[in-house]
Amino acid sequence: MAENLQEPHQNEDVYALNAATVDAILAALEVGARDRLLEFLGHMHPADVADLLEQIEQPKRIRMIQMWGADIDPEVLSELEEGVRDDVLETLTAAQLGAAVQELDTDDMVYLVEDLEDAEKEELLDQLDDVDRVAVEQSLTYPEYSAGRLMQREMVTAPAHWSVGDVIDFMRASDDLPEQFYDIIVVDPAMRPIGEVRLGRVMAHPRSVMLEHLMEKKLRTIPVDQSQEDVAYAFNQYHMIQAPVVNADGRLVGIITMDDAMDVLEDEAEEDMRLLAGVGDEEISDTTWEIARQRFPWLLVNLITAILASVVISLFSATIEAVVALAVLMPIVASMGGNGATQTLTVAVRAIATRDLTGSNAMRVVRRELVAGTLNGIAFAAIISVVGIVWFGSPMLGLVLAIAMIGNMAVAGLAGIIVPLTLDKVGADPALASGTFVTTVTDVVGFMLFLGLASVLLL
């Protein structure tokens, strides 16, 4: 009977680390019971061990890595987030890491060494055999976040004149097939990919059938310098499971598998979310100080825009002094505008990322956002004018609120879509600081409209 590793679905924390296990591991660590520690870790999936290392405090993490030493699981290394990976690289010697690194696929080797200083990189690369070393050094020549960094060299290729039988015989004779591969890549004599065949298709045909009759010729190759974001998009859009990576000459240099693309897809969605909220590349393992320092610049930008809004308000000091109700009500118009703009912005950023918002429908979507913003502006103008009248007994104040609300909600819709589209057009990330920029617009316009109208109509 197979071991069922699954928790029941009712469990809220399905797949999360089990608190009792974590406690037992930390207890073993505390008393220095190395065998017990390794026994526990050995039963966990490498990805879960990596999560554990990320979640515990740094001193304990360092201690655990030291205790593990040369026996560290290579698969855990490739699962670690950057901060923790660096802890491992600083704690263990190149000799201790040697055995583990050799067992990794080349894409994981690249991840491990790419941020090291030259001397340390050299030391670790010395642990690899020549073939791997050349492959890793080659990958490092490609830009960060490109297909070249994501690909692995481990793959199975065959010439078109091979038969199903040839492939099967080759695979049976080979003693180092990659752990992960789903397609045989058919190449011409210059190593240019000319087709691919699913393993299932190979197995479903008699030994005599030639690969060229089985292969899918409509091949989506990935240029080695393509951005990882585009790679992830292609995998998701076209349901790819594996794709050949080619250099400028069209020669096969590696493959990317779907699990790596899935990682990138999640990272990119998360990056959009963080950029919208004004958060950098922080990780759960970061210290308090790192967190505070990374968030500071974004908050500073917000402070400057907040001061800008204050300057706008200060222009109307005399009006506020005359009618103090304006000070009470002015945040409402600004806040509604900020919220409406954030709604539009969030949808737009995602739609640009998923290529749902393109040149062919941009104008229509801009129109839609402007009109939708105005429609909601009218609805909320009706509500807020009643509040103004009932609360402060001034129909004129209600009218000022209503007009300012409609104007600011229309501006919000427009700013929320124009800002990310413009950033995308000039080659910047559409999410980058657009939240701050857009809410600055709605704050300034909101205060200006509300206080300006009040100056004219109420004084």
Q: Which of residues 391-430 bind a second copy (CB under 8 A)?
A: 424, 427
Burial label, 217 (beta-carbon count in 10 A; 0-12, 13-18, 19+): exposed
Sign, CA dihedral 313-319-321-324, equals negative
Q: Which stretch binds a second copy (CB under 8 A): 29-37, 97-105, 129-137, 260-268?
A: 260-268
Q: Residue 126 phi/psi, 5° resolution? A: -60, -20
Q: Is 448 in the site for a second copy (CB under 8 A)?
A: no
Q: Is 313 in the site for a second copy (CB under 8 A)?
A: yes
Q: Which stretch binds a second copy (CB under 8 A): 34-42, 82-90, 108-116, 308-316?
A: 308-316
Q: Is 191 in the site for a second copy (CB under 8 A)?
A: no
Which of 272, 381, 410, 453 touches a second copy (CB under 8 A)? 272
Q: Is 452 in the site for a second copy (CB under 8 A)?
A: no
Looking at the Cβ atoms of 92 and 362, the one nearer to a second copy is: 362
Q: Which stretch binds a second copy (CB under 8 A): 5-13, 33-41, 82-90, 94-102?
A: 5-13
What secondary structure does DSSP assign to 283-332, as a single string? -TT--HHHHHHHHHHHHHHHHHHHHHHHHHHHTTHHHHHH-THHHHHHHH
Q: Is 314 in the site for a second copy (CB under 8 A)?
A: yes
Q: Is 152 in the site for a second copy (CB under 8 A)?
A: no
Give the alpha-carbon dihedral of 356, 262, 3, 23, to 10 degrees: -110
What is the rounded distance in angstroms from the CA atom of residue 285 to the CA atom of residue 57? Answer: 7
Say which residue the tokens 């591991």 belong to: 25
Looking at the Cβ atoms of 124 and 329, the one nearer to a second copy is: 329
Nearest approach in angstroms of CB 127 to a second copy is 25
Tokens of 68: 């593990």
Angle between helices 395-425 and 434-458 (to 10 degrees): 150
| Chain centroid offset of residue 127 CA | 32
Which of 38, 269, 433, 458 touches a second copy (CB under 8 A)? 269
**Which CA distances in Å does 211 have to 203, 413, 439?**
11, 55, 58
Which of 279, 396, 432, 458 touches a second copy (CB under 8 A)? 279
Q: Is 459 in the site for a second copy (CB under 8 A)?
A: no
Tokens of 453: 């109208």
Site residues for a second copy, window 216-245 (CB under 8 A)? 217-223, 225-227, 230, 233-239, 241
What is the rounded distance in angstroms from the CA atom of residue 268 to the CA atom of residue 353? Answer: 9
* Contact predicate 330/442, CB 8 Å: no
* Contact predicate 278/301, CB 8 Å: yes
The DSSP element (H or E) to which 393 belongs, if any, is none
What is the rounded distance in angstroms from the CA atom of residue 148 to the CA atom of residue 136? Answer: 10
Looking at the Cβ atoms of 124 and 164, the one nearer to a second copy is: 164
Which of 82, 103, 122, 266 touches a second copy (CB under 8 A)? 266
Looking at the Cβ atoms of 150 and 202, the one nearer to a second copy is: 202
Nearest approach in angstroms of CB 191 to a second copy is 13
Looking at the Cβ atoms of 89 and 147, the one nearer to a second copy is: 147
Q: Is 3 in the site for a second copy (CB under 8 A)?
A: yes
The count of residues interacting with a second copy (CB under 8 A) is: 155
Looking at the Cβ atoms of 124 and 453, the one nearer to a second copy is: 453
Q: Is 174 in the site for a second copy (CB under 8 A)?
A: yes
Site residues for a second copy, window 350-389 (CB under 8 A)? 350-351, 354-361, 364-365, 367-369, 371-372, 375-376, 379-380, 383-384, 387
Q: Is 327 in the site for a second copy (CB under 8 A)?
A: yes
Site residues for a second copy, window 19-78 (CB under 8 A)? 19, 22-23, 45, 47-48, 51, 54-57
Looking at the Cβ atoms of 256 and 313, the one nearer to a second copy is: 313
Q: Is 162 in the site for a second copy (CB under 8 A)?
A: no
Q: Residue 157 phi/psi, 5° resolution? A: -120, 160
Residue of 217, 128, 400 lying closest to 140 (CA atoms): 128
